[in-house]
Amino acid sequence: MRYALDCKDDFASNLLFWIERFIYGKINSLSNHQVKNKDEILKVLSRFRNGFDSMESLQCACKECRNIGLIGINTYILPLSKLYEYLIQIGLESLKDIDEELLKEFLTIHTSALSDATKKNYRMALINFFSFVDKQNEDMLGTSYNFRIELKNWGGLRGKSGQKLPSFMNEEEVHRFLNGIESYPFKHQELGARNRLILKIIIYTGIRVGEALNLKLKDIMQDGEFFMIQVRGKGNKPRVVMVKAKNIAQDLALWRNVRENMVVNDDMLFCNHKGTKLTQAYISRIVEQVLIANGIRKEKNGAHMLRHSFATLLYQKSQDLVLVQEALGHASLDTSRIYMHFDKQKLKDTTEIMES
């Protein structure tokens, strides 16, 4: 069904309407292989069909989608919610007042401190959104208003030379972090084993936070002195990682004992006290708390930093880029090359070239 461009009474309501229509369409196109509870997704989709009275309620619905398992929704809702706030402040009267120069201004102001990858996500979210509106709006005469947003000449991207290197811990900091996990006073002591187990699995194997949270009970199996962990990566591609049993066996046994006395909705390895899936934001908060408690300061304190730390140490000790690619589940070797920048020995070798 098509709608008039300015089908509501005011600019804010019109913009919110089109954003919710766009997000609703994106939700139905996202991969659903991680969705386990169809009743939950039906409830959220029903809310989208009924519409929202504020951007805050739309954002909450998108958060629910992510928690249910529709990963990728933040790529669209974060840029568009920022755009909504920006355009409301300007005080436009009609969606027709939006043009490419105004969107470039928005990108310049709101993405200045972001990485190139995030800037590209913002740009593509805007292009996709306005392309959607182009195709879906129609007035009483059957004609459509076309924004034709391309943003081809926006100069906000720095290019490869300006990309930031990821934050990571050096070997001494990693050991300090691991010791800190053991002594950290988690709020709910009965869940402390779970929290320690999650953080250890991530930092000892380098798997993504989402991959850790999607592990099933059957995915972790002991093989002598090691645990083998079956991981489902991006695109649902399987791979196997290993961790020494001595590093996680105690916490795994303690957590399994706690979990047996809980009502869990699925066979997921990790869950909250209600028996439902944990969020990546929760894991990142734990990581940040442990880092601060142990005097470790990084530009980015999220859980993904643990993966970077593992990969950096793996390359430094192995000098094997293919091993890094396989361990991290990178589709391309080029993605793994970033960790070559942390090879101190090779950097030290460059200081010798002028020596006689």
Catalytic residue IDs: 208, 234, 304, 307, 330, 339
**3-state class (DSSP) for residue 292:** helix
Q: Give the dihedral of Cα atoms 166, 167, 170, 173; nearest 10 deg.
A: -160
Helix (H) or strand (E) holding 22: helix 11-27
* Biggest distance spanned by C-alpha atoms of the chain: 82
105 vs 174: CA distance, rounded Å: 42
Radius of gyration of the chain from its Cα atoms, rounded to whole angstroms = 24
d(CA 58, CA 226): 45
Query: In the chain, at which residue ranges do the beta strands (DSSP E only) sit?
Result: 220-223, 226-232, 238-244
* CA dihedral of residues 92, 96, 101, 105 (deg, nearest 10): 30
Contacts of 48 (CB under 8 A, 6+ apart): 20, 23, 24, 27, 61
Give the C-alpha separation, 119 to 113, whole Å.
Answer: 9
- 3-state DSSP call for residue 69? coil
- The residue behind tokens 């929202």 is 52
Cα(302)–Cα(88) distance, rounded to whole angstroms? Answer: 31
What span, in angstroms and rounded, lies between the C-alpha atoms of 165 and 178?
23
Cα separation, 206 vs 182, in Å, equals: 19
Strand-pair category, 220-223 with 226-232:
antiparallel
Count of CB atoms within 10 A of residue 8's CB? 15
Q: How many C-beta neighbours within 10 Å does residue 320 have?
A: 12
